[in-house]
Amino acid sequence: MSDMSYSDSDGDSSWSAVGLSDPKNGQYRDRRALLDTVNQLHSCGLNKRLDLPQIAVVGSQSVGKSSLIEAMSGITLPRSSGTCTRCPIECRLSKVDAPWKCEVFVRFEDARGEIRFGEPISDHTLVEDRIRRAQIAVLNPSSDPLSFLESTSLENNELSFSDNIVSVRISGAEVDDLSFVDLPGIIAAVRAGGNESDVDQVKNLVRKVIARDSCLILLVVSCDTDLENQGARSLAKQVDPNGRRTIPVLTKPDRIERGTHAGWMKLLENREERFRHPWHCVKQPNQMQLESGISHREARKSENDFFANTEPWSTLDVEIRSRLGTSALTEALGTILFDLICKTLPGIIHEVEKRLRETKDALSKLPQKIEGNPVSIVMQLLEDFKKDVSSLIDGNADAGANGLIQSFRCAKDRFRQEIFDQAPNFKPYGRSKTATRVVHDHVDASIENAEDTEPLEPTRRKDQGRVFYLEDVRKMANEAMTRELPQNFPYAIKIFYIKQSTSEWKTPMENLFKSAETMFEDKVRGLVHHHFSRFSAGSFNTEMMRLVRAHLRACSERTHQRIHEMLKLEQEEPFTVNEHYLSDYKVKYKARYERMCNPEPISSSIPASHPTPPATVVASDWASRSSATSRMHLTQAITSLTAAGLPTLTEDELVKRVRASPVSTPEGLVEIMAEVRAYYQVAFKRFVDYISMIIDYELLKQFSRTLHVAIATGIKIGEDGFKERCISLLVDDPTIVRKRDGLMQDLEVFSTAYINLQSVVTTSTMDYEDEEMEGMSS
């Protein structure tokens, strides 16, 4: 394709205002504002996240696409061997009451975003070189793009083609209002030494842009090549099979061979290759005109003269002739683009509103940017942390089962049960009687449970092997006797059983301590992370984590020492001043053991779902609840007693006397069992209370009470250089900074776009019904 350069030798580069920029159009102001808003969304790269309306110029290589772009924009595009456009070139034309100006930007898909590429240009002749250098900058993404503004080495690019964009923005009093993007021309093959993958890369680049529903496809078709051989046509049909978004335009009509116009006329007459938007046709200056320095005005006059005076163009219907020429095409493009924007505006507003809401939500989840006096900020952060620690230790009902105090309560319950399960398991009868006592023991346990809210014996012992039978206690007592009188057993027997029963308290105690320590450390570390993790780059998080660990370790050591002191007190020797408490339990256990000593209790045949009532009550109530079998046995017993010469008794009198008769028990041994078991009950309750209280007081509450001292010492509050230290602590995590800055940029973009979109008045001039056009090509 030959070079093209329009001169302004006639001193007037203006041409008639068309499209969106026609001041006579009553919708001009609304159109201008709407187009500016959509352009702004493109500038911010939102076209990657939103389906924004745009016109994409598509054509095969050497179809005159660049010449058409130059005719519409009034600038000269760079030319190179093989292909002209190696990346998308966005053209934004804006009519303003100001001198002509051109600005060039490069827009990257990565975090760099859009970058101004040099100062504004006021000289038309400098635009081509600036665009060429900008295109080289996007083809070398690893280099500083601004370095190519003055670079003399512009060869050996990293990439053959790029998805990154060169944005050219032209404004002036004589400039049309229109925006479009020129895409690289479709190539069928590469030159010798070229990269074969370039063919597919260009197709994929073009396809990705034009596949979006809101992209209008300006399909450029050259009249000097068969329609079927132009690859851009087939690519457009792939993404727009119904032709609803395609605007077809013919170029180089002066190259049509004599006698072959009929086929091209069928396109303009909409008899073949029908699209929703009808075919246009343009003619650009030929090589001779370019070399003569033709101006823009002269080029448009020459084009109009060609269509007005050359057959068959001059003989076409008026409607078809209205679609001939660059001005007619530009005007049609402006209207179609505006109407597409109007059609898609509600969806764009909805999507922008959604993104704006999502951006605000994402920002609300990030820490706010630190602003203000660094000392005050540090002190406030520390105060907030201490409050949360205090709240954690006080307990929070909303925390549920995962709360610290709730979890500690469960751990205390397990600890209490483990200590209770280690109670000495006395059996006041011989091993040979074990089988006959199981049911009786169960009955007694239920009776005792009804008498006292605290079970007298564990219901799920873990150590069934630690059982002390009557002969075990008798043997121990006899072997331990020294100078005692008969039936007086040494006090050391009781000491022995008490110490043996408390000897394994350490393990449950340690388990409770470790459980509380681990739970507390996890919760406190979570609070440190919550309050200070954002300052990882400034070591605030690390410093607080170190400080908290040291303080927790000191409290843990003190707590561990105190609970072991408590354990030593319990294991040193039996002691209590709660004599009435010990006496009450001794009476209960003695009564229980004495009942268990009775080898064949008559009451076993009598229902006993309640505590043993007085004998008179049992006697009167027995008759109504006893079974017929029990009555038969009692009758036989009374008969036997009478035959033996004893006074005749009634059934109730016999039951009453049996209940009231003393049980034959080894009094001294039962005394030992009852007192040891009673003391265990006293000591166990005292121990589980105090161990729990010590852990709560020394580990949890003491940590909170002395936290301010530990922080002041560790952070060195008030010391020289504290302000500088605060500044160094308050360095945000770079990841958070980058994310927050990106979201803040998005917030500004979406907020501005939303406000602008809401304020734009739109009126569509076209009917966008969904029905397909009859006879439209598929």
Amino acid at 279: W
Amino acid at 560: H
Pairwise CA distance, residues 162 & 189, whole Å: 18
Query: So what's the pLDDT on residue 602?
Result: 39
Amino acid at 708: H
Asked whether 37 and 195 are in contact (CB, 8 A), the reply is: no
| Tokens matching residue 54 | 């745009």
> If the chain, 778 residues long, is cut into consecutive pieces of 10 residues, what is the mean pLDDT of each piece?
40 38 53 79 74 91 87 80 75 90 92 89 92 93 91 79 93 86 86 76 92 93 88 92 94 90 90 92 87 82 92 92 93 90 86 91 88 91 96 92 94 96 92 56 38 58 70 88 80 93 96 98 96 84 94 98 97 94 94 78 41 44 54 77 76 65 62 95 97 98 96 87 87 86 87 78 44 42
| Tokens matching residue 389 | 């620690």
Q: How many other C-beta atoms are found inside a 10 Å radius of the C-beta of residue 617?
A: 12
Give the length of the chain.
778
* Tens digits of residue pLDDT in 105-151: 999 888 788 899 999 999 988 999 999 999 999 999 999 999 999 87
Pairwise CA distance, residues 328 & 310, whole Å: 18
Query: So what's the pLDDT on residue 605?
Result: 41
* Tens digits of residue pLDDT in 559-575: 999 999 999 999 999 99
Query: So what's the pLDDT on residue 333?
Result: 93
CATH 3.40.50.300: which residues of the chain?
28-353
Helix axes 374-394 and 506-532, enclosed angle (nearest 10): 150
Place of tokens 């809210």: 453
Pairwise CA distance, residues 270 & 279, whole Å: 7
For residue 280, the 8-state DSSP code is: E
Residues 6+ apart with CB under 8 A from 191: 81, 82
Query: So what's the pLDDT on residue 664?
Result: 41
Pairwise CA distance, residues 771 & 82, whole Å: 42
Domain 28-353, what architecture? 3-Layer(aba) Sandwich (3.40)
Element (H, E) at 89: strand 89-95
Element (H, E) at 595: helix 579-597
Helix ranges restricted to H, 533-627: 540-572, 579-597, 615-625
Q: What is the 3-state secondary structure (H, E, C) of 380-417?
A: HHHHHHHHHHHHHHHCCHHHHHHCHHHHHHHHHHHHHH
Minimal CA–CA distance to 596: which of 417, 457, 757, 755? Answer: 457
Asked whether 91 and 182 are in contact (CB, 8 A), the reply is: yes
pTM of the predicted model as reported, rounded to 2 decimal places: 0.58
Pairwise CA distance, residues 32 & 22, whole Å: 10
User: For all residues of the chain together, what is the average pLDDT?
Assistant: 82
Minimal CA–CA distance to 45: which of 770, 753, 717? Answer: 753
Cα angle 62, 63, 68 (rounded to 5 degrees) comes to 110
Query: So what's the pLDDT on residue 772?
Result: 41
For every residue of 424-449, DSSP letters joined together read -EEESS-GGGHHHHHHHHHHHHHHHH
Query: So what's the pLDDT on residue 297?
Result: 81
Query: So what's the pLDDT on residue 598?
Result: 66
